[in-house]
Structure 1
């Protein structure tokens, strides 16, 4: 028996060529390419904790039949229960499940979902869209441009260590290089990069929890930066504590609020 080995970078390049990009075959009813560019503004922050193992060696992209089905059929046709038999069989691989979690996040828009059945348990589960690079793929055959862009998104979200790192996916406009500006303030990360688990402070409280020691159910926000030693006053609807007069700082509604500064 011969065993052939190749480096992981080569495998990733092969994936970029063979998976998604080159799969648009002779199938009917392809969704049309977008005729022109429009404008759309929304958050494009997304994590990149897709492991190289799941990206390159999952049972979907490495199987010739499943690979072709992915590039030539709507996602709902392949995955919505009962699902396409070959795809359902390949989903027994945990790496394939992780791979699809990221593919759906790249392709479908925020608010779109794709239901699928977990082969080992028979339980119905849901993948959620995030970026909306190719939302029509849910119900239509993907175009070549769609496959290329989703491939790029998947490769950008690869992290060899499986750590969760926030990305901001943006392109360059040849006539206006500065059209996509960096955010002036980076919102706080709600996940531990090493474990990809949500920090306890941002997890919903299991039971009603009150007091300054509460460490659940917080909403994160960022307001800017300042020079060390500068006096900064924050508020949730109260007066300036230094004067007890003037305009209220911030606002609150519905219940008593607690403001925690980190």
Structure 2
């Protein structure tokens, strides 16, 4: 009997250790800037970006506060989206379906997929980056951290002309890690994106990389008419860059000449920095 108890204790310790190793390997705790190979995040985080300005600003899914709340308060699944009257109705809007494509791609991991039947037409939605995998679980939802990261990811994929362009997404999250080959191929830092597309009213922010004076991919020829509010130079709005060149804790106001942020300035943990070829 004593041997049996000892065996069960040893077995429990082995199971616990295996779980811990698996958790560490999944990506949490990977040293900043270190190259590693995690299949689920091995996207070389190079993704297309053809989200139009209209789909971001005029879609029926997030332009209404009640519908936006219904989206984030429920699981990102076919059943949850279609069983809720608000989200089911919103998805009749082509712009809402375009936005949802990018929300799903940002939130759910590669390999995740679900279909939605809209008035007899079936539309498929695929995961990609996996910034908030749990939103796709039964009973899942999108909390504040989820809203910040998914919003930053979606905003970074807006394209002024709606033409797909390869981009490298980086940030202080293991799913946005990059290897040396990607950093070499995508060496031109464009800027950082952050905000809350699910807020009422929605918050769209960006800052320009210190080496740049424009964000033509997202804003077109002028920053003044940009779909996102460009609040300044990333060096004046964010913490210092990480080893991969990405900015974090970017804010909705720039520092003053004295180096201080105005009272009430908000910092966004979910900040995504984009690099181009």
TM-score (norm 2): 0.47
Larger Rg: 1
Q: Which has the higher helix share?
A: 2
TM-score (norm 1): 0.50
